[in-house]
Amino acid sequence: MEEKPRLARLTAILIQLQASKIITARVLAHKHDVSIRTIYRDIRTLEKSGVPIVTEEGRGYTVMEGYKLPPVMFTEEEANALITAEQLVLKNKDTSFVQNYTDAIQKIRTLLKGPQKERTNLLTNRIYFTTNYRNQKTSNHLMRIQLAITNFEVLHIDYHSSKNKKTKRDIEPFALYSTQENWLLIAFCRLRKEFRVFRIDYIQKITSNSEFFESHNMTLEEYFKKTYGTETTPDTPLS
């Protein structure tokens, strides 16, 4: 990978520092294909320019809470990537996801100026993704479930399974993934006392009593490794 000009790298590092809770010099060095020593110099340069970087010994760097970057400018390639993703998102079957992404893209479009805005509008009309419309079943729960995952919130769901069985479950949402045009939720089911995979378009209703749970201290990669060789179809337990 070709090394970025230093100013571009400093800008990218500043954005990454603000986007992450904490990030290490090693991760930054790997991302920008430079030495850790170079990252140390970049951090000192940012500090000298007035950026309030906080160093947590043995953990990494972050930016002092409350510090805000000036308005973000997008390269044409970055804007095109977002516009392309928008066309893919519009084919998604979760209405809450589509609406929130569309609103976010609308805000991003306001940052584009003149010719760049015209070119992204042209690209919007020149990209098309096909989809399988045989399954028209939709959902409106993706955004709510995402909040539950990040806040470790117990959800009560009314679930209508692929076997046409209706149950009520208290679940601890763990992760989401999408396959074959369906969003799947991995969650610890308190009824079955094990991890299960739920299709979110089979969730009829979600309620909450503001109960929270302790993190399962497992990454998604570790979950997939644990279930390697098993069929993680909707509502199938871990073996």
pLDDT at 4: 57
The single residue listed with the structure tokens 């497992």 is: 218
Tokens linked to 146: 């995402």
CB 172 within 8 A of CB 190: yes
With 50 as the cut, is the pLDDT of residue 226 above it? Answer: yes
CB 59 within 8 A of CB 24: yes
The structure's pTM equals 0.64
CB 207 within 8 A of CB 170: no
Which one-letter DSSP state was computed for residue 21?
A: S
CATH topology of domain 142-226: SH3 type barrels. (2.30.30)
Confidence label for 87 from pLDDT (cuts 50, 70 and 90)? confident
CB 234 within 8 A of CB 162: yes
pLDDT at 20: 78
* Domain locations along the chain: 6-63, 76-124, 142-226
Give the pLDDT confidence of 174-212 residue by residue, as tens digits. Answer: 999 887 777 899 999 999 999 999 999 999 999 998 999
Give the pLDDT confidence of 111-139 residue by residue, as tens digits. Answer: 777 788 788 888 888 877 776 555 556 78
**Domain made up of 6-63: CATH architecture:** Orthogonal Bundle (1.10)
